[in-house]
Amino acid sequence: MDTYKNAVRVAAHRGNSRYYPENTLIGFRSALELPVDQLEIDLHMCKDGHIVMMHDHTVDRTTNGTGRVRDFTLAQLKELDAGSWKGEKFAGTKIPTFIEFLEMLRDYPEMTVNVELKDYPREDPEWARISADKSIALIEEYGIADRIWINCWSAEILEYIDEKYNHRYRLHGYFPYSLMHGAWSRDPLSYMHCLCLFGKDLPTPVRPREDFDFVASAGVEPWCYFPGDEEEYYDGAIANGVKLLTCNDPKKALDYLRKRGLHE
């Protein structure tokens, strides 16, 4: 595993999303100012082939529009309001393109990014591969491959990327593996850089210590995400050896870690 200056790192989930519209430049800038160790983002390909930032497969929840992301052109997406759902003060916030995000990132040469690919083969295999390739082409155009983790709920896409790009990218999957779409043709521990441990099948979101040890013993980093940012779950994950917390309220997590001497 890589070494880092902080014992436990913090990623801003879709930006500073507790307080700002998710997957927007204003939300990412807020997280960068804290600063966090990493930004977590979500990418889709729209109708005319542009890569845009959106978590859901439709625009319904986070904009004033309705319909699938892939059925909109970029110009049509840019007409939508991606901020008002979070509060009147965010009215008029636009859906950013991945290029706009990468341009913003030029001012933060040490910031790492967890890029979650949201187009899945189970819906359209060719579309998912093209979307992944276009996203990676932009990462390489901007010369930041060494700062990127690539994340997907599709085992097929992660294996496709690992093979096509000659093991160049640090890949992020999920544990237990049954959470992911599709079948693995190889042992994930043989090529994953990190696995996000979910306790969805347990009474608690924190998986048992043996699961963390199982992942870490293969040189794979155990990461966690807790939507409510509950400190009691931070406690359990840290006791079990978590290396990174993905948070909707990254400042809360940073303050928590600093009080315990786990973060600068």
The CA distance from 51 to 63, in Å, is 17
User: Is 55 a residue of the active site?
Assistant: yes
Cα Rg, the chain, nearest whole Å: 18
Closest to 52 measured CA to CA, from 143, 115, 107: 115
* Cis bond upstream, residue 203 (ω within 30): no
Q: Rounded to 5 degrees, what are φ and ψ at 199? A: -100, 35
Of these residues, 50, 55, 172, 263, which one is catalytic?
55
Catalytic residue among 13, 44, 172, 263: 13
Active site residue 13: yes
Residues forming the active site: 13, 55
